[in-house]
Amino acid sequence: MDFMTTEDKAKIEQRLAELKANRVKVSEKIAEARDHGDLKENAEYHAMREQQGLEEAEIRRLEERLANAHLADDVEKPDDMVFLGSVVRLKDTDDGSEDLYKLVGQASGNFDADEIEVTATSPMGEALMKSRVGETVKVDLPRGTKRFEVVEIV
């Protein structure tokens, strides 16, 4: 079971559409490279075949994710509970610093956002999942255990 937000699902569907649209272009490039002659020493042909294989594997992976997806937006949850898609303000109990964290199904790779993305399968994400405002969560990180207080759900 793969929980994701509606936004995550839309991104996956967009990526899947791009990959499927690129199939024709890759096939055409393979045909062009094949026309250049000897396939044993044709680096362009082998590179395009490899790209085709990688893209087809990615298409299968994304289709499987979508088939097993459960939208977090459809799940009934209390307003004060952290769940997928929630943006929470956490206070580090050691130094008192506060940061915004967003619990996501899959990281977008956007490091310019106002909040720090945390995947639901990471140690931080697992600790945050289903926590409530006012609770202190314990996170086992590679550098040791940290404790955070859930200040608010934004």
User: Where in the sequence of the chain do the CATH 1.10.287.180 domains occur?
Assistant: 2-71
Q: Write down the pLDDT at residue 83.
A: 82
Q: Write down the pLDDT at residue 120.
A: 82
Q: Per residue of the chain (154 residues), give pLDDT as tens.
A: 567 778 778 888 999 999 999 999 999 988 888 887 777 778 888 888 999 999 999 999 999 988 888 776 655 666 778 888 888 999 999 899 999 998 887 776 667 668 888 888 889 988 998 898 899 999 988 888 999 999 998 8
Burial of 135 (0-12, 13-18, 19+ CB in 10 A): middle
User: Where in the sequence of the chain do the CATH 3.10.50.30 domains occur?
Assistant: 76-153
Q: Write down the pLDDT at residue 149.
A: 93
The answer for residues whose C-beta is within 8 angstroms of residue 49's C-beta and 6 or more apart is: 30
Q: Write down the pLDDT at residue 74.
A: 55
- Rounded to the nearest 10 degrees, the angle between the axes of helix 6-34 and helix 43-67 is 160
To the nearest 10°, report the CA torsion of 145, 120, 80, 127: -20
Assigned CATH for 76-153: 3.10.50.30
* Overall fold of domain 2-71: Helix Hairpins (1.10.287)
